[in-house]
Each structure stands twice: as structure tokens, then as C-alpha cells.
Structure 1
Amino acid sequence: MIDFWMAAGLLLLVALSFLLIPVLRGRRAQSEEDRTALNVALYQERIAELQAQQEEGVLSAAQLDGGRAEAARELLADTEGSSAERVSRLGKPWPVLAAILVPVLALGLYLHFGASDKVELAREFSQPPGSLAQMTERLERAVKAQPDSAESAYFLARTYMAQDRPADAARMFERAAKLAGRQPELLGQWAQALYFAGNKAWSPQIQGIAEEALKLNPREVTSLGLMGINAFESQHFDQAVSYWTRLLAVLPPNDPSREALEGGIKRAGDKLVQNGGKLETTQPMAVPGARMKVRVALSASVQDKVQPGDSVFVFARAVSGPPAPLAVKRITVADLPLEVELSDADAMMPQLKLSNFAEVQLVARVSRAGQPTAGEWVGRSQPLPSSVTATQALTIDRPDQ
């Protein structure tokens, strides 16, 4: 921010110069006027002396005329080059007062209407954080500077969860859900944060949020897992098997949580049989994972504005859902044009996969700083079904704003 304030200070000096230069010129003109008045007074005094000497008989009429002419020449020589008297209608105090008020008023207006906090955040986010605590502090400031941003609230909530601060995370997930329109994935994570914030005690609020999420999306993974846990803890083992079996069906084959989930289903099934219940042996229907093929290229107008080593992030995000990318691939400008495939295996989080959303938007962003959230050039597609099989063409053709 030092360079910003230096630039602002230089601009203020330029503005003040237009006010102070006339004042300094006015002072110089005043000194010239005072000197002229003194010369005139001396001239008049000299003429009076000559007349007195002539009356006393010391000077003749011819000598008197010669003395007057000499005094006039001296007066003319002394006043030559002085400008005409200037008259200010504003008065002398006004320019000085304006010179004081202009920077004070400008600073006050900028602090009230300006975006110095956002400028500073943009500069900080261009550099990788040194620690999780530093990232948290940046995100907290981002949420304060952008109170209507669901994305900022969501990422701050995820950071709180990583720091084992579920109560703070629940508050941010609630905020993100309200801003984004109560999307089922956000509701599921909100319910999960509340569950951990309450020391894993179930509550009517958690029940209502999880049920709302599953009503909007029956395959919402976080809510399915939570409902299965609650059913198992309350000894409704048949319901636990049902919820966890549905969850197992939507997880990709290589998901690391499948083994633990299968173990939970087996334990719930054994408990059910021990209590005299009957375990359904039907296997869940396999749910194919979404796969989207994207051919990424640069437009002719952008090719000479990028460098071969610039990062290119290709990702899909939900049209109606959380702002976080669902699947991401990273390449470089030197690789373009290139065809990439986005699938559930590229998900950043298990609960956010392509197959969980009906419509997505494809985005390709060039970022010289290597930041996926901000760059110099971008290309975006129209909303597409996540089940589309045809290769999609995506051209990077516009400035990233």
C-alpha cells in the first residue's frame, strides 16, 4: 500500500499547486505594489523639496524644471517592469483554506467510499499464505470486505473446519447457504458442522437441515453420512444400512472412504440381525460417475498476450450450487490447444462431484501468478448438463474480471 499512498500524495501535490501558486504570485505582486508606492512617495517628496528651494530663491525656474524632469526619470526607471495592480474578488484567505480542505476532503471521501481494504486483500492473495492461520486471517478480512460473497463465506467455513472450529464453521456455512439459496451441498456441510459443534449430539435443527438437503438432492453425500450415523447411534440399524448403502452408491470406485463405509454397513447389518431384524441383500445400483471432455484453446487476440509458462486452470462448477470447483485440471499455455477430461476423480472434495449436479459451467482461466481464483484471461461456457458426452470446445478469449 506504500506505493499507492505515494501516488495519491503526488496527485494531491499537483492539485494543491493549482491553488498555492496563485497565492505565491499574489504575494510577489503585493511586494511589487509596495515598492512602487514607496517610489512614488519619494518622488513626491523630491518635488516638494525642489519647490521649496525655488521659493527660497536657491533654484531658478529652469533648474526647478530640470530637477522635476530628473525625478520623473528616476521614478520611471524604478517602476519599469512592475505589473498592474491586481484585484482579487475571492479574498486572500480562500485559496489557503481551499488548499487545506481539498486533501482533507479527498482523504475522507476515499476512506468512506474507497476500497483500500479490497486492494490490500488482492495484493495479499496474489502471494501464497505462510500458514493456515494466515490464510484464515485473510479469509476473515475477505468476508468482512465482501459481506455478500457466498464464495468467501464458504471457503472460510472450510478453513474453520480444518482448524477444528466447527461452531465458527457452522456460522459461516449458514451464511453461505443463505447467500447461495440454500443449496443441498451447503446445507449438508452446515448440518455436519453443527453436529461436531454440539459434541456429536443430534438435534432437531440438524435433523431438519439434513432432511431438507436430501429432499433437494437425494444423493447429497454429507447428509447421507450424517443420517446414517444418527440412525446407528439411535439403534435404527436398518435405516443406518439404508443411508450408508445409498452413500456407497454415489462414491467413486477409488474413494478412500469406501472401505470404512463398507465396514460401517457390515456392523450395522450384524447389529440388525442380532436384534432379530432382517438384512436386505439387494445390492445398490451403481451410479456412473460424470465425465466431461473439454478441448481448450486460445483465441487469436490472446495468443500474443500470454507466456508459455502461464498456468491454465480448467474446471467445472455448479450452475446452482456452492462456488467451489467440482473438478479441476491444471496445465500451461504451452500445452494449448489440448483436450482434457474432467470427472468425479478430479473432485476437490468428496461431497462436491460432477455427478451430484445436473448443470455445470466450464471455465478455463490463465493465471500468471498460478492462482485458480484470479487471472488475466478467461473463457466460459454456457450452462451444460453434467451428463453430456460430446467434447466441448472452450476458448479463452476475454479479460478476467
Structure 2
Amino acid sequence: MTQFWIIASILSLVAVWIVLHPWFKRHKLEEIAVDTAAEARVRANVRAYKERLRELNAELRSDAIDQVQFEEIKKELEATLLGDAKNVQARTDNLDRATSTTFISLIVVALALVGLSAYLYNSWGAYDLALHSEDSKFSAAEIAAAQSKAEAGDTLGLLVQLRDKLRENPANAEGWELLARSALNTNHFEIAAEAYGQLAEIESSPEIKAALYGLQAQTLYFSGIAIDAPPVADAVNKATLLNPQDTNIYGLKALASYDQGQFDQAIEYWKTILTLEPNHPSRGAIEEGISAAERALGVPSTIQVPASTVRVSVDVTIEPALLSQFNENEIVVVYARASVGPPMPLAVARFSPKQEINDIVLDDSLAMMPELKLSLFESVDVVVRITKGSVERKLGDYEKIISGVLVADQPRLSINIGAEDIVTDSK
């Protein structure tokens, strides 16, 4: 911002000069006029003195006055001449004092003008935005590092670099929005959750702030954190306090209940969303979720949902030797993602390794976002991953992928996970 302050200083000096320049010009003219008038008056007084002195000399020679009278009158003339000279000097001094007062007043006005400009800019200007913009710029070294990571396919490294830069400038809403979207699309949910949290802190509207906290809670949940664990619960509480009717929170609670086999509770949450927002953009997916939960409960469907032609059924088996190594800390994540397109899951289901994972149906009811669902893509990759803690892919997970599955064929896949399916890289 050095350039900004240099320009601001130059403009301030120009403003001061505009105020003071007319005074300097006028002061110079006044000085010339006063000096000319004073000089003319002195010359006139001297000329009058000399003429009167010649007259006195003539009167003295003609004996009209004597020497004593001559001396007295001469002294009076000299005193008058000296008095006039003092009066001229006094008027000049008075003018100088008035000029000094005017100059000081103009200096005060000029400084006040600069101060007022600074105050108004601080109140109405956008210096903080300019400063944030300057702070947001990447250095040459940072750009080179980003290029290196991009060439190596290190998506996580790029996201971390952007996140670290945004932490230096937390008021950059556009940057956090970009980070949230990019992290979510690449399944880096923890980074996306932080971005949504920062956006919520920046946002002033209570309803939008609540929605952002709701999205933060969802991404934390998708990362493998239980809904009643502190990070998710904190985000849920913040959203609920701001807007008790936030549909993102009800959607999260519905998904969590469905994953935990609490189908009646999931139905209640989904129906609450439709009551609060009848024209919800995900209404179709919500109705499919309600229908799927009712089928799981074995009760007649209360919602007429057109039979979907887009679904993938999956049976998962885990080799006994591998299964014996697992406990309650592991989860099995089954999801479909587009074969060509964004890597974000289109439909997700989660289970414990100890459960029987048969006849899992991936369809639009399990979509994470309405704009990314199974029915929008012709071909998907089906992923089964056994992981601990976060659902993000990492070393030590077990994973198998079936690529190029045509969803319109309503395929049924049987996937077996064995020791050979261990993840040896984090990409």
C-alpha cells in the first residue's frame, strides 16, 4: 500500500497549495502596493519639508522671523516629518500582523481540509477492501508452488494453500466461497466446513448466516463426524438459534436418522422441510427419501413417487479375516460419483462393518445436493470404502471402485473387500 500513501500525500500537498497559492499571490501584490504607497508618502513629506524649509530661510533672510523662531519652526517640521514616517511604518507593521494572522488561518483551514478528507475516506472509503485485496495477492513464490502442485495433481495442496492465504485475509467472502465450493466438489469436507464457517462469520443476514452454519454442519457430518459430536452439534445449535426453521438442519437430521436406521424420525424431518418450504428445490429427492424410509419400515407409502429408472443396487461383503480387524470406529461408505464430471458424491450411504450390507439402493433420495444427483448422469463410478474417522480417502483405508456403471440399466453390483484393497496413496 506504499503507492497509495505516496499518491495520497501528493494529493494532500496539491490541496494545500490550492488553498495557499492565492494568498501568496495576493500577499505579494499587497506588499508591492504598500511599499509603493509608503515610498510615495515619504517622498511627498520630504518634498513638503524641503519647500517649507526654503520658505523659512527666505523669511529669515528678509527678517520676517528671527533665528529663534526659525529654529522652533524647523524643529516642528522635523517632528512632523518624523511622525509621518512612524505612521507609515506603523501601518506597514499592522498590515504584516494582519497578513500573519491570515496566513495562520489559511494553514489551519488547509490542515483541516486534509484531516476532513482523511476522516471522510476512513468513514466512506474502501481502504480496508484495498488492503484486503493487496493482502490476497499471491507472491511469485506462492504462484510457483501452486503451479507445481497443480502439475503433480495435488488438489489438497492447492486447497490448503488457498485456505492459508484466506486466513491472512478472513474478510474475503468471495475467496471463502470459492474454497468451500472447490473443497466440497473434491470431497475435502473439513476444508469446506471451515470455509462455510468463515462465510457465516462474515454474513450479516441472520437467515443466510443460519443457512451457512447448516451447510457447515452438513459438510462436517459428511466428513465422518457424528451429528451429536461437538463440531457438528455446535454448528447445528448456531443455525437453530438464528433460524429455528432452517431446512438445511432438518435435512441433515433426516440424513443422520436414515443412516442410523431411525427411518420414522427421518420421515418426520423430511416432511417438516416440505411443510416449511413446499416448493423446496430438492422436493423430488426429499419425497424419494420419505418413500425409501417407508419401504424400509414396511409401511404403505404416503407419497406417490414416480418409479425411478435411475438407481444402483449394491451388495457388499467383507472377507472374514479382514472383518475381524474392525471395531466400532470404522465405517463403510458406499457412494456413486459421476464418471465424467465433478468428483462430489451423487448418492451416499454409510454403515458399520458389522452390519449386513445387502441391497443398498443408491438413488436421488441420497443426494447431498439437489444440483448433483444420480439421475443427472448416464454413467457413474461406484465406490465402497472402509475408513476410520473422516470419510476422506487416506492411507490405510480399504477401497474398491467399479467404474462406468450405466445407471439407466438399474444394475445390481456385488462388491467384495479384501486385504488387497488397502489404500497405499492418498490421491
TM-score (norm 2): 0.40
More helix by share: 2
Question: What's the TM-score once normalised by structure 1's chain length?
Answer: 0.42
